[in-house]
A and B are shown apart, each in its own frame.
Chain A
Amino acid sequence: MGLGILASRTIRPASRLLQSQSSNFFLRTIVSKPELQSPESAAVSQPEPPNQILPPKNPIGGARVHFSNPEDAIEVFVDGYAVKVPKGFTVLQACEVAGVDIPRFCYHSRLSIAGNCRMCLVEVEKSPKPVASCAMPALPGMKIKTDTPIAKKAREGVMEFLLMNHPLDCPICDQGGECDLQDQSMAFGSDRGRFTEMKRSVVDKNLGPLVKTVMTRCIQCTRCVRFASEVAGVQDLGMLGRGSGEEIGTYVEKLMTSELSGNVIDICPVGALTSKPFAFKARNWELKATETIDVSDAVGSNIRVDSRGPEVMRIIPRLNEDINEEWISDKTRFCYDGLKRQRLSDPMIRDSDGRFKAVSWRDALAVVGDVIHQVKPDEIVGIAGQLSDAESMMVLKDFVNRMGSDNVWCEGTAVGVNADLRYSYLMNSSISGLENADLFLLVGTQPRVEAAMVNARICKTVRASNAKVGYVGPPADFNYDCKHLGTGPDTLKEIAEGRHPFCSALKNAKNPAIIVGAGLFNRTDKDAILSSVESIAQANNVVRPDWNGLNFLLLYAAQAASLDLGLIQQSPKALESAKFVYLMGADDVDVDKIPKDAFVVYQGHHGDKAVYRANVILPASAFTEKEGTYENTEGFTQQTVPAVPTVGDARDDWKIVRALSEVSGVKLPYNSIEGVRSRIKSVAPNLVNTDEREPSAFGPSLKPECKETMSTTPFQPVVENFYMTNSITRASKIMAQCSAVLLKNRVSLDLGFSLR
């Protein structure tokens, strides 16, 4: 045990006066041992505790460890605890499995390893100096120690260096309260600093209307550089200079125009890259977080809506490994300020002089109920919008059917779309399954603007396994290597018949994936195109029991659910001969096609295009204010959660249609959301099982032969402007700024081509 010299100092009361009062005054003894006074000797003389039964350790965050090769598991010791990790794991990942969270700045689990922040240093036995755990592979029998004095001293030192040139911006920095630097300096940094020189400062870079840069705060972790080049696929950012003069920026005066550029805001551990629309608006501790689903495209990215009172302040991604990992597109992230503009808040009826007059719900529903009985059943048309949830579409279909009409459909599905077999409109290999593909054939779809998260997944696959991508459609820009095979159905015919040079690549691929865009559903020759795609699939063994590579990429959040519920357009002339049109959030309907004497009811949350033709306006709630079921393009059902209260006198969509049905005399049998859901269960039970993916049951073999021929018109781009696709984004100021930048870039590109 060897105590050595036991030095004890006792404090005795100084004066007699105190001594007389000191009957209960105790003597305080300070005991010190040489082991406590030097770190090295403490490390040496640590007695090994006898083999106790140690409690089992759980990986941090409740993560699951996937052993791809169970025989190849290694055993390492983390702080005395033995853990089994797969072979390629780094020391940091082994510590995560053991439940020890090692501080880091530059390491991110989805990016490549940089190892330049040095905050993750841990002590490994038999190593002369502490190792960067994010980069060092875990070897069998390694003894890792994360809480020794050496590791602690290393962290304090790194923290001190990082804070030396870091400006004192916490009160004005948006990242305050959720800043990695703040948290780690409190947990691992030393309590006093020794820096008395001048701090360096860096000039700010202009990265666009979305990302605010204060480059003085940058700690040069290079997370944004690695993100831009690996995940987003654009090499916009880079590190210039060396040493303390290092600056992150775009070398030329270039804006970050990638559709995933907003994710660098989440990735940056300090306040160097922050959200420009959210700048100086709120602190993170005064916001209420609600976990919900995004509806701006058909992917259904998981988001967290931060709100303060009745206002949505910002949107942050949520982790979902299967759909969007940890990223969201710019449209999802920044469309929230459209929720505050152009909102419909009161029912309105158009007067005889053409102006709208606000009325009460009783009057508005009474008027609609009167008019609907004056038209013939065949002249009633109901159109669901692209942001409608499954409950409201079910109630609309029930109501229109009870009034005697069959004309109810969702916008985006043209006449004759066959929704009998689910495989013909879903992404059959699932978004996460796309990672296993080694060849992509994109037919008439530009995933970069239609579904940015699917594009991110394709980019990840191309980067990881060098997958080949062939594209048939109008010229578009991709952020990965892509062969432009052709522009129209002729190329498809060539591939189907085997004459195209791409066919050899198709035959040699083990898991080919064909992605067909939903924009092709609007063509008159769509049956012929789909049958030729299916013949390509059949010839190249794309649809097998273990791998189904025939995918359809839908455009709108409501499309999959509408096709599951059966909202299909049966007759092509339904809209032209309608006398009563019920638009439930449908803004992309061609308003000129509606006859001049038809009575139009618009039920929605924004005063967008179709409102100007309406006769009666019924205000509804937006996706952040209602609980609705949405199905994404791969068949995964999810539910939105209300984050803010409804605006004005608005009601939920399904409640309006249910009230209208009662006022019109065809009262629907349910009056609560559970009733609507049990009705949905009898039609499409997969829409009731939230957070589950229902794959399609049958393959293309059941489809009958198609006799039509393909026309030769080339495929048209579906999305003209990525930032303005639905009523919320069209009302948003941030989206308007982004699309102005986009158009300016396009114009300058065109000018560049013509000046040559």
Chain B
Amino acid sequence: MAAPFTLRKIGVPPNSANLTEARRRVFDFFRASCRSIPTVMDIYNLQDVVAPSQLRFAISAQIRNNAHITDPKVIDLLLFKGMEELTDIVDHAKQRHHIIGQYVVGEGLVQNTGSKDQGKSDFLKNFYTSNYF
């Protein structure tokens, strides 16, 4: 096995020139975060709670959420925020309940504000919740 992955903190990178570069940066970010998953599981003792594949799925879902964006500057900003979040998690600046509540997909633990309910109207959202609205 290669040496364990370490997250190198680079300064604020310059803006990406076009969409292709932004895409490349997104995939680099995804690779870096997936490679940090074993460290995260070790730090927060998530071995019995979640499988690495589920964490990968959670990360990819969040990225897919914003898959419709085409402006490179917006993508850069989102990547910056994503990197900030990833650094916080790897630095143990968060705690276990944060990770479980935000990234472990369970019964209603993570709000599925993803693409499933995005296009739906208030009526349908209320209808799925209860009869009285």
Contact = CB atoms under 8 A, between A and B. Distances in A.
Nearest to B127: A659
B120 to A, nearest CB: 7
A646 B130 CA distance: 10
A652 interface: yes
Nearest to A361: B128
Interface residues of A, number: 15
Interface of B: 120-124, 127-128, 131
A534 B131 CA distance: 47
A658 B10 CA distance: 53
A655 interface: yes
A737 interface: no
A537 to B, nearest CB: 47
Contacts of B124: 659, 662-663
B131 A662 contact: no
A650 interface: yes
A662 B128 contact: no
A439 to B, nearest CB: 50
A671 interface: yes
A621 B124 CA distance: 18
Contacts of B121: 662, 667, 671
A621 B131 contact: yes
A386 B83 CA distance: 61
A463 interface: no
A621 B122 CA distance: 21
Nearest to A620: B131
A133 to B, nearest CB: 51
A671 B121 CA distance: 10
A655 B130 CA distance: 11
A362 interface: yes
Given A662-B120, A662-B121, A671-B123, A362 B131 contact: no
A651 interface: yes
Interface string A159-182: 000000000000000000000000
Interface string A645-687: 0100011100100110011000100010000000000000000
Contact of B127 (A361, A621, A646, A667): A361
A658 B120 CA distance: 13
B126 to A, nearest CB: 9
A659 B131 contact: no
A663 B120 CA distance: 9
Nearest to A663: B124
A211 to B, nearest CB: 37
A650 B123 contact: no
Contacts of A362: 128
B131 A650 contact: yes
A361 B128 CA distance: 6
26 contacts: A360-B128, A361-B127, A361-B128, A362-B128, A621-B131, A646-B131, A650-B131, A651-B127, A651-B131, A652-B131, A655-B127, A655-B131, A658-B123, A658-B127, A659-B123, A659-B124, A659-B127, A662-B120, A662-B121, A662-B123, A662-B124, A663-B124, A667-B121, A671-B121, A671-B122, A671-B123
A646 B121 CA distance: 23
Q: Which of B121, B128, B131 gathers the greatest number of chain A CB atoms within 10 Å?
A: B131
Nearest to A670: B123
Contacts of A671: 121-123
A360 B107 CA distance: 13
A650 B127 CA distance: 10
Nearest to A621: B131
A300 to B, nearest CB: 25
Residue among B120, B121, B124, B127 facing the most chain A CB atoms (10 A cut-off): B127
A362 B121 CA distance: 14
Nearest to B117: A362
Contacts of A667: 121
3 closest cross-chain pairs (CB), A and B: A671-B123, A659-B127, A651-B131
Contacts of A655: 127, 131
A671 B124 CA distance: 9
A121 B131 CA distance: 56
Contacts of A659: 123-124, 127
Most buried by B among A621, A655, A663, A667: A655
Nearest to B122: A671
Given A658-B127, A671-B122, 7 more contacts: A362-B128, A646-B131, A650-B131, A662-B121, A662-B123, A662-B124, A671-B121
Interface in A57-85: none
